[in-house]
Amino acid sequence: MANFLYKEEQDIYNDFSKDGYVIKKINNFNSLEYIRNKIVKIIKKKINLKKNIDHQYILNNVHKFVEVKDLNSFRLSIINDINSDTLFRSHYYKISRPYLDHIVGNELVMQIKINLSIQFPNDDSSLLATHADTWSGDSPYEAVVWLPLVDCYKTKAMYLLPPKETKKIQENFSKKKLDNSEKLYRHIKKKVKWIDIDYGEVLIFDQAMPHGNRINLEKETRWSFNCRFKSLFSPYGDKKIGEFFQPITMKPITKKAISFKFPK
């Protein structure tokens, strides 16, 4: 197979192929600041916080202002606000655009609604059990862009099962009798890779790899977004274009070709 990739593209290609993910510095810091400022503004309004407090302090310590019983409604209201912002998705795409170009392609569809996870310290109400998105009907052609608004480390982060271990699990799934997510996690917990990622970096990973989180045993709250991207003309799973995905970078020849008709 011919290889016309530039060195930067080849390096990302190699890393993603080997590890199933890449963590990269965000080049478009203006878009990152837009996202964080938007979230902090929403938080201040919802919890009536008028003090001039550092943004990172608010995000890391929001559990001091919001009770666990109110966390899910608090999170859903923020999701509704950000997805009502016509600029938010555009900025989200811009933070990862050069890397998506290399990993997924440059004619993309993007998840219509961006998801938000907020995980308080020592809270078991916001756990994401071990799973692979492809097991529930997602297309293997999708990549997840996972954006932290705070430094994430140890149990404040998430874990991924590396590609080689994922392959072993999938080949022997029925033999292992892993009939629930907790059994699966106990089986793989010594093999998973815990992600260490700072604010100002972005994670892009293959959602066909098992992943999830556990109880956050650190002293700070985790804030992270996730959103799926795929090539416009790659096969779709249960989540279809127009329902779950929306084209965002369609090229002019594609637009012309869609409406092309042979002469009568």
- Alpha-carbon separation of residue 3 from 9, 13, 58, 127, 221 (angstroms): 11, 11, 47, 42, 44
How far is the C-alpha of 68 from the C-alpha of 74, rounded, in Å? 10
How far is the C-alpha of 156 from the C-alpha of 145, rounded, in Å? 18
Question: pLDDT digits over 170-224, tens only?
Answer: 887 766 667 788 989 999 999 999 999 999 999 999 999 999 999 999 999 999 9
SS3 (DSSP) at 58: helix
Q: What is the pLDDT of residue 176?
A: 65
Domains and CATH numbers, the chain: 7-257 (2.60.120.620)
CB atoms within 10 A of CB 210: 26
Mean pLDDT in order along the chain per 10 residues (264 residues)? 88 97 96 97 90 91 96 97 97 97 97 98 94 95 98 98 93 72 91 98 97 98 98 96 96 94 90
Cα–Cα nearest to 52, from 62, 60, 41, 63: 41
Cα–Cα nearest to 129, from 223, 225, 212, 222: 212
pTM of the model: 0.95
The 10 Å CB-count burial string (b at 16+, else e) for 105-133 is bebbbbbbebbbbbbbbeeeebeeebebb
Q: What is the pLDDT of residue 171?
A: 82
Q: What is the pLDDT of residue 180?
A: 85
Q: What is the pLDDT of residue 251?
A: 96
